Amino acid sequence: MKIHILGICGTFMGGIALLARESGVTVTGADANVYPPMSTMLEEQGVEIIEGYRAENFTEDTDCIVVGNAMSRGNEAVESMLNRNLNYTSGPQWLHENILKQRWVLAVAGTHGKTTTASMLTWILEYAGLNPGFLIGGVPENFGLSARLGDSPFFVVEADEYDTAFFDKRSKFVHYHPRTAILNNLEFDHADIFADLEAIKIQFHHLIRTIPSEGKIINNAAEPALADVIDKGCWTEIETFSGENVESEWSANYIQADGSTFEVLHQGEVQGCVEWTQIGQHNVSNALAAIAAARHAGVPITESIAALEQFAGVKRRMQLRGEVNSIRVYDDFAHHPTAIDTTLKGLRANVGTQRIVAILEPRSNTMRMGIHKARIAAALAQADEVILYQPASVNWDMQSVIDDLGEKAKLFENVDKIVDYIATTTQENEHILVMSNGGFEAIHAKILDRL
């Protein structure tokens, strides 16, 4: 069998490519403006990537074209596919029909923390000897890959609420039919496809409708929007968790304020202590959810705790990209005010009074539209200095955020000028946190090179 993937370097579609190839399928794919880590990961795995979308990219012997949700009508390859009446499907549908149908699916859904929580859960199952399959929207450091088949019934999938394809506007996660589902949190995002939070709640309830009554929902007790979703109807047993001071079945006792050491409590009883390299209250919450989900799959709590102590994190999630003269440069995927806030709070708790310089690229569709502009300044409050990048694609004036932040903030329209500024002003023992859900013109490497 031969498939061609349109949008192959997206985090999800790149995982589809790896799973298909491991299943014995011949895989080619096309994308535009590719960047690491997905592009390099696919190249390392021997997957052919064609730059650009052209009609001649796929031949008549291609059995199926798998269409990423970044594709739209008017794209040359899409128009050729339709005009030639070629067989096509979406990535989520291909995944369900070819990989998930006979597996015990553990799905991780939520506005924030999906990639990290799914990576934690997968590593716990791996540590327990269960050899799970997985498809994650990032690259877990414990595996070095975003997807693999595995040889057990268990399969972990990052369950994204974004739409499936230009021809299927349902959320991706309705295709996955999980037996175990983590509902991490729920806020308004993806303003390019959802009118409001209520529209997203409807999609989350569609997910709940697919979970069997003999399954399990691991639900964040601190999230009122998820409570609204559950109230629409639920036919599955629920276990609650919270990394905050909210009554729940799974909770934490913070030994270190930055979350680097914490006790795991189940129904109020201490189960053990996690000492790991991760920081932040959000990661403690992610860990509790992963422990609860792994327990549903049969992993003892103590074994999950031991696994988390060897959890190595995820590329682009508070990833330390390098250190020069005691200046640390981090790469983080944060692109929503809540994620920006929790990431900075975790770093602040970890580094104390040392200076933090936050560099933010508002790259997501929602951020480019200015939907969250009133919340950005408050989200950046923990930083000592803030650098905002305003690319041409942002259609609102970011000067308003600068005004709210005052003297500690600066606005740039050129990445190289940001690098020049950092290289000439940064001092020893400072922490440079770069936040973007894109490549950001390789700014991390440029800063390290200049330093």
Query: From its phi and psi, is residue 124 left (phi > 0), alpha (psi between -120 and 50) or beta?
Result: alpha
Mean pLDDT score, 387-403: 82
- Integer Cα distance of 441 and 361 in angstroms: 10
pLDDT, residue 35, reads 66
Answer whether residue 70 shows pLDDT above 80. yes
Mean pLDDT score, 422-451: 89
Domain range list for the chain: 2-90, 102-308, 319-450
Q: Residues 102-308: name the CATH superfamily.
A: Mur-like, catalytic domain (3.40.1190.10)
Nearest to 18 by CA among 145, 151, 131: 145
Mean pLDDT score, 396-406: 84
List residues bridging with 218 in a β-sheet.
Answer: 182, 239
Helix (H, G, I), strand (E, B) or coil at 274: strand
Mean pLDDT score, 336-365: 86
Answer whether residue 5 shows pLDDT above 90. yes
Answer whether residue 334 shows pLDDT above 80. no
Whether a cis peptide bond, with omega within 30° of 0, leads into 224 is no
- Integer Cα distance of 185 and 159 in angstroms: 12
Residues for the chain: how many in total?
A: 451
Mean pLDDT score, 214-219: 98
Token reading at 450: 């200049």
pLDDT, residue 80, reads 95
Strands 409-412 and 385-389 come out as parallel
- Integer Cα distance of 16 and 28 in angstroms: 11
Mean pLDDT score, 141-162: 94
Which CATH number is 2-90 given? 3.40.50.720
In this prediction, residue 437 has a pLDDT band, given cuts at 50, 70 and 90, of: confident
One CATH from 3.40.50.970, 1.10.3720.10, 3.90.190.20, 3.40.190.10 for 319-450: 3.90.190.20
- Integer Cα distance of 322 and 334 in angstroms: 19
Mean pLDDT score, 68-91: 95
